[in-house]
Structure 1
Amino acid sequence: MLGGLILTALAVALVLLLAGPDDARGMGTTPAPLADGRAPGAAPMQMIELSEAEFRLRPRDAWQPVPLPDTWARRGLANTGLGHYRIAFTLGARPAGLWVLCIPRMSRVHELRLNGELLGGALIDPFDRPPGDTGGRDHLVSVPPHLLQPGLNRIELSVVHSRNAGLSMLMLGPAQALPTGARLIHQMTWIPSSLYLVGAGLAVFMLAIWWRRPSERICGQFGLIWMLCILMHLLVLLSPPQPDAVHDGLLLLLQIGALALGASIALRLSGRLQSTSAGVAQATLLLMVALALWGALTGVLDEVRLWLHPVLILVCALLMPLAWSGCRRLPGPARLLLAGLLAALLIAAGHDHLVWMGLSSVMDHYWLPQALPLALLAIGSLMIRRLVEALRQVEQLNADLERRVAERTAALQQANQAKTRFLASASHDLRQPVVTISLLIDLLREQVPAPLRPMTDRVDEAVSSMEDLLKGLLDLSRLEAGTVRPRPQPVALQPLFDAIAAHEGETARRKGLKLRFRPSDATVVSDPVLLEQILRNLVSNAVRYTERGGVLVGVRRRGERLQLDVIDTGVGIAQEDQDAVFEEFVQLDTPIGRPRRALGDSSRGLGLGLSIVQRSCALLGHRLLLNSRPGRGSRFSVQLDSATPLPALAVPALPRRLPLQGLRLTVVEDEPAVQDALRARLQAWGAVVQCHDGLAPLRHQLAQRPRGHSGIDLLITDHRLRGASGLDVVEAVRSYGGPVPVLVITGDTSPGDLSLLSASGLQVLHKPFRAEALLAAIEQVLATAETFAITAARAAPGSPASRRG
């Protein structure tokens, strides 16, 4: 839209620029008959062209014939001064209507008489004349009919010029017969002003861009050039008839300022802002400013302008190749348009200088006032196009960035899924031998003689360390899968302190550390399992990274909440590493706490503890804080809501020697070593055990019994079997033999499998596990099944409970 507007304005201005002088010059050469309201059959009236005159400089000089238009400099006369013209014409009859006298170029300081009567201007004393006009203007003078007479008529015209001395041809005739070209020239002088007004909005827009984005210097400097050109145009419109040093000096300074900004743009485009050319241009412009000020103050400004104008034009010509070299990225048509505009400006500037000196015809107009706004609008459109292109590139870069982010996110998700699958597979394969060793070690400790107990204890410790590592992977996988459902309830802290002290105390003693738990009767609201996991990981981490001193665990009140603190005197953590330590597989390697992402020795774990702590706290809504200084130690704090203290619990009875005496257990496990270890451990507890390595042998056993009677008191099945899953086993047993208590054991850590098992509602025991955990899980399953059976029996029709209901 803007490009179309600019092209339209260019076309209109070009027509005016080229047709204006010619139209004025040719007025009356082929006068066209126009209707003027006369009676039918009357002769058409025409404009009379007055192209012959007599001229003299002084009243005592003789009259000399001159053709019009008349340019004094072309006749060898001075370009300034007072001159007198006399033009004679003959009329056949006195006109009846209003006539007009059209003078396209005449000094504003003039005295115009028709047949001795003052028709326009003011009286001029030839011996004490006023300062002359600095340039000619077009004039339309109304001629009353009574001033015209039949026969000979005479126009006497005295003009005073300061420069551009001369006179155009005159046109006389009825107002209705005034040529269209002359009307356009007289009535459409607002076109350059309108173009400057449009450019003012564009300049404000560019200056606003520069203000908001200081890096857009070229855009802002071009807006400043626009503003200077608008000020110059206003000065030209408001120029006084006589020369004025202040007005002319200010106009010259504005021209130099616009040139300085243009030079800065050209040098910046060419990348030579810091070169020798920039220094020379700066010195030249400063010299011009000094000369302009000197000329205005000493009254020789015209002489200064006579020399400065060619220098300004020369500087523009030298700078334009620089601007051209900096526009290599513009498309071909835009570069050609820019080259044409720059060349047109140079030609217009040279032409206007000749007009100003009076070396061209007096009929010539100044081209720069018309060409400059058009050129500026065109260049402004190119800059807007550059801005739009930059915005398009930004949008494209944003789109590319979003695409790359999406690709990287997808790649990270795939990598994370691959990591999860790898950990799940590796964890499952590692858990199988660990659970076998754990169960066999438990049996071995009951049978070995006393001298061999220390050896079995060391083996048991090694297995326990392996179980802790695998348990960390399992906990992390469960948190990632979202299968952990917190069950907030009142939790007494002292029993939790006692359990963790018993578990971690031996490790601290071996390292020579003091592990202290400050006694507390506080009760908090949390999930007991997750809270124990959080505190156990924090204490274990503190003991692991403390070499001297000790670890203190305590609770204190913070407002309406309680703060659980684990404080150590270990290596500490640098400020820049305090976020990294909560990531998976990050360990502290050096005394100043720099993170190390490679897996270290077993005493340092896998770097999962703090990651599990952070995720568990986020799941529970507990705030986790860290305050640490390298070499001084660390303090991990968990903020908890307080709760009403719990009533004292009865001491549980000691477990029986044969807790599973007489129970019929079926085990489905395809790993022979695990299957054998489970059979031995369960039989040692008094159970009758039947083992199968898959679903097909189990179905064969079920087929030997009547439907509805499976003969199974408890089903223990692995989840990952060859050709089937634990859920398939449960479905087969229950569909054939009815409700059967089930315990699922698994070494899987993949989020999908964990979510599936969590949704099944079955009791799940994760590998590796100790014998105590296996027994506790079995007893919990049996207790739940017994409770469910009693509830169902009471609700059955015909039962005593239902009859009482």
Structure 2
Amino acid sequence: MLRDGDSPERQIEKLKRINAALIDRLDRADASRGSHWMLFQTAAVLEQELLARNRDLEQALSHLELTNRELALARETADEANRSKSRFLRAASHDLLQPLSAAKLFLSHLSETLSDPLQSDLVARIGTAFDSTEELIRALLEISRLDSVRLDVSCERVSLGRLFQRLAVDFQGAAEARGLDLRFVISSATVMSNPVFLRRIAQNLVSNAIKYTASGRVLVGARRQGADVWLEVHDTGPGIAVEDRERIFNEFERLAPDGEEPGTGLGLSIVRRACLRLGHDIDLRSEPGRGSVFRIRLPRALEAPGALAAGPDPASATGAVQRLAGSGAEPVMLAEPTASAPPVQLAGRRVLVVENDAAMREAYALLLRRWGVEVATADGTGTALAALERLPPEAVVTDYRLERGETGLQTIAALRRRLGQRLPALVVTAEPDPQLQARVDRLGAALLRKPVTEAELRRTLSALLEGRRRGAAAAE
């Protein structure tokens, strides 16, 4: 501060200091103002960058949404195509197997009337071709069902002992025809699986082993491993090279040259698809010239409260399985196949045939009349009820799928109500539905899948009529 008493020099010095301080303050204020301006400019640029990035993000999100809609539409289109394929194959199964079944019945009748060996051989070859066609159609239908997203693959307790008993009945004849020793090791194991598809898996594995084993034996058993049980099928066939072990599970892959061994090349593909749907591991062990072992890992079912294990421990089968290719005691046979009872006399019996296909009705009638059966035919429930007055039947043979949405199960129920008795019934179908067997069982009827052979029809009819005779005798 300037004072009056200060000398001019002192006052000048003070003014200089004041001036320097003011200039310094002005410089700092100017620098600060420039920094704020730079910050403002930077913020403006960043805001523009942010707006540009937001626009890019909105465009990307819009593109992603469009892509998702296109993917959803493509998936729905693929699902609908798959459903259409399944519907087509289900419908085609009936339309394809229906004439095939009629042809096999006509062919069976023709074979009975031939005396020329050449003609008989030709008929036998035609029958073999029909069998191959039937096997191919059924395999394709099975693959279609396994690929269906709506397929019910719920699991429940399955007794391997009972499964082996059924397999013994199914395949003993085929094994004997090829000169093979088919054995089943006793098992008390109970596993968690789908009973329908597990049986189909086992059938394909055993059938495959029999087809490709020229001599020796096929052994089926179970091996316990921790909380699991391995279902194993051993054979003494040619074995499978390492480079072929993945390929054989593809569709239409057959290691044997065409025509050398029967088959469609779809059996193992069905096995792999079914195992994937059920969550079962599949394992193959093989060595060329020393046979093969196909194994399926199954989760062991927990024992029911208070349940007692019946029979030997599944692990006891291990030694028998290991002895397949070696020496020593023979493996235990599960059960000797029981010989089928001779068919009862069908001559003079009365049978009603309900079939909407004219060719099938004629084939059934021709075959049954050749056996001496009195036959009445109908194409639906109404005509079947009307036929009761002409020929009171002792049994009914009906197709499952009839006209106007009717089913053979409805026809059987209507006939039984009219007659007031439990009329023996046989349902014949080309439907691939695995639940149909349970519905037929609840009705107390028998079920045959098309194409029906003469032997199957005669054996089943005989059993139905014999059951009726025994029931009548017990009632007396």
The answer to whether TM tops 0.5 is yes
Distance 1:649-1:408 versus aligned 2 partners, 3 A rule: same
Contact 2:231 2:295 (8 Å CA) reproduced? yes
Change (3 A) 1:673 1:425: same
Distance 2:43 2:406 in 1: 78
1:470 aligned partner, one-letter code: I
CA distance in 1, matches of 2:167, 2:382: 46
Report the Cα offset of residue 637 of structure 1.
Answer: 1.4
Cα distance in 1 for partners of 2:182, 2:417 equals: 52
Identify if the C-alpha distance between structure 1 residues 747 and 589 changes in structure 2 by more than 3 Å, giving closer, same or farther: closer
Say which of 253, 261, 269 aligns to 1:588: 253
CA distance in 1, matches of 2:425, 2:368: 15
Task: Tell which deviates more after alignment, 780-789 or 516-525.
Answer: 780-789
Distance 1:419 1:663, change over 3 A: same
Q: 1:726 to 1:497 in 2, by over 3 A?
A: closer
Give the match for residue 725 of structure 1: 406
Q: 1:681 to 1:469 in 2, by over 3 A?
A: same
- Selected match of 1:669 from 355, 361, 379: 355
> Structure 1 residues 590 and 461 mapped into 2: Cα distance closer, same or farther (>3 Å)?
closer
Tell me the TM-score normalised to structure 1 length: 0.43
Equivalence for 1:27: none
Within the candidate set 129, 134, 156, 1:467 is matched to 134
Asked whether the 8 Å contact 2:209–2:218 carries over to 1, the reply is no
1:733 alignment partner, SS class: helix
Inter-partner Cα distance in structure 2 for 1:169 and 1:769 = 115
Q: 2:396 aligns with which of 699, 715, 721?
A: 715
Q: Using the aligned pairs only, state the percent identity.
A: 27
Deviation at 1:436, TM superposition (A): 2.1
Say what the alpha-carbon RMSD is for the aligned residues: 5.2
Within 2, Cα distance between the matches of 1:416 and 1:438? Answer: 32
Q: Are 2:449 and 1:766 equivalent residues in the alignment?
A: yes
The one-letter amino acid paired with 2:14 is E
What amino acid maps onto 1:427 in structure 2? S
- How far the C-alpha of 1:690 sits from its partner, in A, is 0.7
Residue 678 of structure 1 and its aligned partner are, at CA, apart by 1.4
CA distance in structure 2 between the partners assigned to 1:626 and 1:402 by the alignment = 41
Counterpart AA for 2:377: C
Report the equivalent of 1:742: 425
Larger relative contact order, structure 1 or 2 (CA cutoff 8 Å, min sep 6): 2
Quote the Cα distance in structure 2 between the aligned partners of 1:783 and 1:487. Answer: 33
Partner amino acid, structure 2, of 1:463: F
Task: Please give the residue correspondences for 1:477-488 in structure 2 after superposition, counting only pairs within 5 Å.
Answer: 480=148, 482=151, 488=158
Distance of aligned partners of 1:650 and 1:566 in 2 relative to their CA distance in 1, 3 Å threshold: closer
Shift in CA distance, 775/401, structure 1 to aligned 2, threshold 3 Å? farther
Partner residue, 2:366: 680
CA apart distance, 1:364? 4.4
Question: Which SS does the other structure have where 1:424 is aligned?
Answer: helix
Structure showing the higher strand proportion among its residues = 1
Given that residues 378 and 387 in structure 2 are in contact (C-alpha distance below 8 angstroms), is that contact kept between their aligned partners in structure 1?
no
From the superposition, tell whether residues 777 and 487 of structure 1 become closer, same or farther in structure 2 (CA, over 3 Å).
farther
2:3 is the alignment partner of 1:115: yes
* Distance apart, 1:434 and its partner CA: 2.0
Partner of 2:240: 570
Q: Is the CA contact 1:439–1:677 (under 8 Å) kept in the aligned structure 2?
A: yes
Structure 1 segment 548-697 matched on structure 2, within 5 A: 553=219, 555=221, 557-560=223-226, 561-566=229-234, 569-570=239-240, 581=249, 586-588=251-253, 606-617=264-275, 622-626=280-284, 636-640=294-298, 641=300, 644-645=310-311, 652=338, 654-697=340-383
Cα distance, 1:408–1:634 mapped onto 2, change above 3 Å? farther
Q: Where does 1:299-448 land on structure 2 (aligned, <5 Å)?
A: 364-365=30-31, 367-389=33-55, 391-393=57-59, 395-446=61-112, 448=114
Unaligned runs of 5+ in 1: 1-112, 119-125, 127-152, 171-184, 187-354, 356-361, 510-514, 592-599, 794-799, 801-805
Matched positions, count: 428
Q: Give the superposition deviation at 1:423.
A: 1.8
Q: Give 1:531 shift.
A: 4.9
> 1:157 matched to which residue of 2?
15
Seen in structure 2, the aligned counterparts of structure 1 residues 553 and 415 have a Cα distance that, compared at 3 Å, is farther
Supply the distance in 1 between the matched residues of 2:5 and 2:255 (Cα, whole angstroms): 111
- CA distance, structure 2, for counterparts of residue 633 and residue 654 of structure 1: 32
Deviation (angstroms), 1:412: 1.7
Q: How far does residue 482 in structure 1 lie from its aligned partner after superposition?
A: 4.6
Inter-partner Cα distance in structure 2 for 1:781 and 1:619: 37
- Paired residue secondary structure (2:392): coil
Q: Tell me the TM-score normalised to structure 2 length.
A: 0.67
Q: CA deviation at 1:767?
A: 0.9
Q: 2:203 aligns with which of 536, 542, 562?
A: 536
Q: Tell me the distance in 2 between the aligned counterparts of 1:516 and 1:487.
A: 30
Distance (Å, rounded) in 1 between the aligned partners of 2:286 and 2:46: 59
